[in-house]
Chains A and B, each alone.
Chain A
Amino acid sequence: MMTALLVLVSTVVGTVLSSVLACLPGLHVYNVMGAMAMVFFALAERGISLPPEMVLPFMAGMIVGWSMLNTIPSVLLGAPDESAMFTVLPGQKYLMLGRGYEGAMITAVGGLAGVYFLVLVVGPLAPRFLPVAQSVLRDHMHWILWVIITYILMSEWPKGGNRGPAGWAKFFDAWKTLGAGLLTFFLAGLMGFILLYRSPISTGVAFQNIMPAFVGLFAVPWCLLNMISGTEVPKQTVSDSLDIDGDIILRSVGAGGLGGGIAAYFPVVTGGIGGLLAGHATAQRDERIFVMSQGVSKLVYYVGAFMLLFVPGLGITRGGGAWMIKGLYTPRTYGDYYMILASIAIAGAVSFLMMSPLSKLTIRLIERYNYRHVSTAALIVILAMVYVVTGWIGLFIMAVGSGIGLIPVLFGSRRLNCLGILLLPIACNMSGFGHRIAEWLHLI
């Protein structure tokens, strides 16, 4: 009984804490969890070890709460992490039509549907089927990653070249966006090689190695764009009901569950990539499905990756959260697995209930203060966070990342190409020639 109460309280505390933190733009849950892990290690060194029934549900609550509530800055403040990049455009459309609350809540319904999907569908089936899939696919992850990279690079649509007489001028106009996308991918990939083989970040905060680059690639350009464009946010309406039905929810779960599932299972594939693949695979056009499926995808990606660590007989670790937990505790039993499933269910319910009041609070904030000022404040918070964690060198890396991240913003190409920072070096390493490229670049 005491154990159940401990699990319940830890889950709720973790969820509430991360739900509030999720409203801060640019702050990633893995950064907070990393800091928490350092605290747990420090306590253990002093002979104070916290029971797994406290640590694991707390961390599960952190991830679920953040995955659900991070929709608020994505939709209402426009400073998304990369996995939310597909909610940005339709989400911002909702905001600009005065329906930001509705957009945020539709995404949250998707998140809640994702919790149902994980706990009621994936949860019971995973121990039986995932070990089989893993035994077949284990040696093939590298080429799957290369195939995904190939698709990302080949599937971008030319946005220009629609007017004027046929010829090279039209061709070059169209290829401006495509060329910018390719340039972004390879520059980000080069940056990834540098950070992987010769990172200037001190070893004391090595777990935050990639954070300044990610902030630069994804969060800073969006803040800058908001500040420069001087967007005027119209008055927001808080509606009593959402324009969704069972069909939309189910189709969103189908597309988002597939995308998030791919991202959670395959290494280095992120929620944004999973969302792209699932969107193309299911050929969805309805904007409500698009927005809601991103809520599903994001939750299934982050929480599903964390959950995989606990699936009995699977033995894989995916995502930053799972890697941090693995350093603290190695799950072994079905008891651990069921405890995590219960924590996910509780955290899903708590975080969904927090969604409405926190969305209303944020809307009040952006209505009271100029959107440009809110974006400026968000940028200052991000800069401060990077400086506190990684110092001046982190700010320098962030600045370089921002330069690369601004290319797709300015040329209208896909921001997903910024993920070259992870995809390129890791795919090269998985295929066994990453070291040779690093040598050729004089990094080792």
Chain B
Amino acid sequence: MKGFSHFISGVAAASFCPWAVQAATEGNPLYFILGGAFGILPDTLDFKFYRFFYRHDLYIQPDSLQPDPQAIADALAGAVAQAQETGKTVRVKLNTIRLGADYWQQYVIKFDSDRQEVRVKFGPVVNTGQAPVPNSQPEEPAIGRSKLACPVVQTYEATTRVDIFDGPTFGLEPDQKGQVLLHFLPWHRNWSHSFVVGAFFALVGWLIWSWQAAVVICAAYAVHVLEDQLGHMGSNLFFPITRKGRSPGLHWMHSGDGIPNFGTVWTSCLLIFWNIYRNMPNPLYHFTFLKLILYGAFIPLTAFGLAHYLLTRRQRAEKQEIDNADEWGDSMAN
């Protein structure tokens, strides 16, 4: 999930602690700040600290002047062969191709298990918002293909898109069956996304503040780990007890999906509101949780859905067509 969803979920977790609401009413914001901060902390540790110290065995730097997909495919196939031959995990970093202040050359990598090959294709030039620049999609895109020395087992998604800022890392781990397991962003959701690490931070919080702070920290951290488990990548839930790697996620959503993220944020806001209300000594107005959900979620969402239907029905009728895009995002009708 997005950072803000985790953050507000942590705040919502704090709001379930009566002492947090009581302290806030008396002017002490500590518990809610801890809730938000530790709700987002696992990703902060990964993206702002750990990834800069994560060592790679191979850096693939495409030439921005003459980008060649075959060179990237060959380098990746070479890394798979190296992993199989040495019996050791090979960490590969793919760099992005920056073409200007706001322009990036997109390329897509696909490990095809059936054909036992890796394919690399150059797509359009995109801006930092990942929107394609008009007329930049090549009419006949160059594709690089390279045979793999052994089968590669995907643990995340079949296709990886590389475009803006920092490129992805693959961890190529050989197994006993002569295959190579492909781990996407092996530095992410590893040790940091663990209940045990959350409990450790809670212990530190207890020493600094109080057991109440520890409960808030632990709850906020755990909510982050649980939310991430709904996605594809999964987390290393009990590091350092489970040192092997990530448990697979439930595949219910992608981290960048708009609806689950907004749903989490809105639900968290309603829960915070409810928890504040039920801890009020003498509320001026009286309402039930059901009424809050009715007026705070059901009616607005229904109204939004209805308005969306009315505003877009003509467009839908005009644009209705079969989705024939393949996993590269291209039309299969061509």
**Contact call A158/B29, Cβ cutoff below 8 A:** no
Q: Give CA–CA (A409, B307) in the complex, Å.
A: 40
Shortest A255–chain B CB gap in Å is: 9
Stretch from A188-196, A274-282, A301-309 at the B interface: A274-282
Q: Give CA–CA (A219, B44) in the complex, Å.
A: 32
Neighbouring B residues of A239 by C-beta, 8 Å:
none
Of B11, B55, B261, B287, the residue contacting A147 (CB under 8 A) is B11
Neighbouring A residues of B131 by C-beta, 8 Å:
285-287
**Contact call A151/B311, Cβ cutoff below 8 A:** no
* Residue B48, interface by CB 8 Å: yes
**Contact call A136/B273, Cβ cutoff below 8 A:** yes
* Residue A435, interface by CB 8 Å: no
* Residue A327, interface by CB 8 Å: no
**Nearest chain B residue, comparing its CB with the CB of A146:** B29
**Contact call B127/A143, Cβ cutoff below 8 A:** no
1/0 per residue, CB under 8 A from B, across A227-267: the answer is 00000000000000000011101100010000000000000
Shortest A370–chain B CB gap in Å is: 21
Shortest B234–chain A CB gap in Å is: 21
**Contact call B280/A163, Cβ cutoff below 8 A:** no
Neighbouring B residues of A199 by C-beta, 8 Å:
none
Of B40, B304, B308, the residue contacting A155 (CB under 8 A) is B40
Of B25, B52, B261, B287, the residue contacting A161 (CB under 8 A) is B52
Neighbouring B residues of A254 by C-beta, 8 Å:
304
Q: Give CA–CA (A159, B307) in the complex, Å.
A: 39
**Contact call A140/B56, Cβ cutoff below 8 A:** no
Neighbouring A residues of B127 by C-beta, 8 Å:
93, 287
**Contact call A282/B261, Cβ cutoff below 8 A:** yes
**Contact call A159/B165, Cβ cutoff below 8 A:** yes
Neighbouring B residues of A133 by C-beta, 8 Å:
273
Q: Give CA–CA (A166, B54) in the complex, Å.
A: 6
**Contact call B27/A246, Cβ cutoff below 8 A:** no
**Contact call B315/A147, Cβ cutoff below 8 A:** no
* Residue A283, interface by CB 8 Å: yes
Neighbouring A residues of B11 by C-beta, 8 Å:
147
Given contacts A146-B32, A171-B49, contact A283 B37 (CB under 8 A): no
Given contacts A166-B52, A250-B311, A284-B258, contact A147 B36 (CB under 8 A): yes
1/0 per residue, CB under 8 A from A, across B1-41: the answer is 01111011001000000000000110111001100110010
Chain A stretch 427-443: residues in CB contact (< 8 A) with chain B: 431-432
* Residue B143, interface by CB 8 Å: no
**Contact call B52/A174, Cβ cutoff below 8 A:** yes
* Residue A90, interface by CB 8 Å: yes
Neighbouring B residues of A151 by C-beta, 8 Å:
4, 7, 36, 40
Neighbouring A residues of B36 by C-beta, 8 Å:
147, 150-151, 154
**Contact call A150/B53, Cβ cutoff below 8 A:** no
* Residue A332, interface by CB 8 Å: no
Neighbouring A residues of B29 by C-beta, 8 Å:
142-143, 146-147, 431
Neighbouring B residues of A167 by C-beta, 8 Å:
52-53
Neighbouring A residues of B258 by C-beta, 8 Å:
282-284
Q: Give CA–CA (A8, B262) in the complex, Å.
A: 40
Neighbouring A residues of B261 by C-beta, 8 Å:
281-283
A-side residues, CB < 8 A to B, are 90, 93, 129, 131-133, 135-137, 139-140, 142-143, 146-147, 150-151, 154-155, 157-159, 161-163, 165-167, 170-171, 174-175, 178, 245-247, 249-250, 254, 277, 280-287, 290, 431-432
Q: List 29 A-B contacts (CB under 8 A).
A: A90-B129, A133-B273, A135-B284, A135-B285, A136-B273, A136-B276, A142-B24, A146-B29, A147-B29, A147-B32, A154-B44, A159-B165, A161-B52, A166-B53, A167-B53, A170-B53, A171-B52, A171-B53, A245-B312, A246-B310, A250-B308, A250-B312, A280-B3, A281-B261, A281-B262, A281-B265, A283-B262, A431-B28, A432-B27
Extra contacts besides A137-B273, A151-B7, A178-B48 (17): CB < 8 Å: A129-B295, A133-B273, A135-B283, A140-B276, A154-B44, A155-B40, A159-B165, A162-B166, A162-B167, A170-B53, A247-B308, A247-B315, A283-B257, A283-B262, A285-B130, A285-B131, A431-B27
B-side residues, CB < 8 A to A, are 2-5, 7-8, 11, 24-25, 27-29, 32-33, 36-37, 40, 44, 47-49, 52-56, 95-96, 102, 127, 129-131, 165-167, 256-258, 261-262, 265-266, 273, 276-277, 280, 283-285, 287, 295, 304, 307-308, 310-312, 315
The 7 A-B residue pairs with the shortest CB-CB distance, nearest first, are: A246-B311, A143-B29, A280-B4, A171-B52, A146-B29, A281-B265, A135-B284
